[in-house]
Structure 1
Amino acid sequence: MVAELIKNQTNLYDTDYNLWVLETVKQLENRNFNSVDWENLIEEVLDLSKRDKRKLESLLIKLIEHLLILQYWQSEKERNKGHWEREILNFQQQIIRELEDSPSLNNYLNNKFFDCYQKGCKLASKHSQLPLNIFPEKPLISLEQILDENWLFS
Structure 2
Amino acid sequence: MSPISELYDQDFQVWLAETISQLEQANFQALDVHHLIEELRDLGKSEKNSLEGNLMILLAHLLKLRVQSVVPDTMKSSWYRSIIEHRERVILLLENTPSLKYYLTIAVNKAYPKGRKIAVKEGQLASFGIPIPKEEDYPLGCPFSLEEILDEDFYGLS
Alignment TM class, shorter chain as reference: 0.7 to 0.9
Q: Is the 8 A contact 2:65 2:79 kept in 1?
A: yes
* Percentage of identical aligned residues: 38
Which structure ranks higher in relative contact order (CA pairs < 8 Å, sequence separation ≥ 6)? Answer: 2
Corresponding residue number in structure 1 for 2:150: 147
- How many Å apart are 1:33 and its aligned residue? 1.7
Indicate the RMSD between aligned Cα atoms, in angstroms. 1.9
Question: Where do 1:60-79 residues align within 5 Å?
Answer: 60-74=55-69, 76-79=71-74
Q: Name the structure 2 match of 1:117.
A: 112
List runs of 5+ in structure 2 lacking aligned partners.
125-132
Q: TM-score, length-normalised on structure 2?
A: 0.85
Q: Is it true that 1:132 corresponds to 2:135 in the alignment?
A: yes
Q: How does 1:1-154 map to 2 (within 5 A)?
A: 6-74=1-69, 76-129=71-124, 130-152=133-155
Larger helix percent: 1
1: CA distance between counterparts of 2:97 and 2:88?
A: 14
Deviation of 1:99 after TM superposition, in Å, equals 0.5
Distance 2:142 2:7 in 1: 48
Which whole-Å deviations, capped at 9, do the CAs of 1:42-68 have from their partners, x for residues lacking one?
A: 111121111000000000000001111
Count of aligned residue pairs for this structure pair: 149
Q: CA offsets per residue over residues 98-125 of structure 1, 9 Å max, x none?
A: 1011122112121232231111110111
Contact 1:12 1:20 in 2 (8 A): yes
Q: Check whether the contact 1:62–1:91 (CA below 8 A) recurs between aligned residues.
A: yes
Stretch deviating more after TM superposition (69-78 or 101-110): 69-78
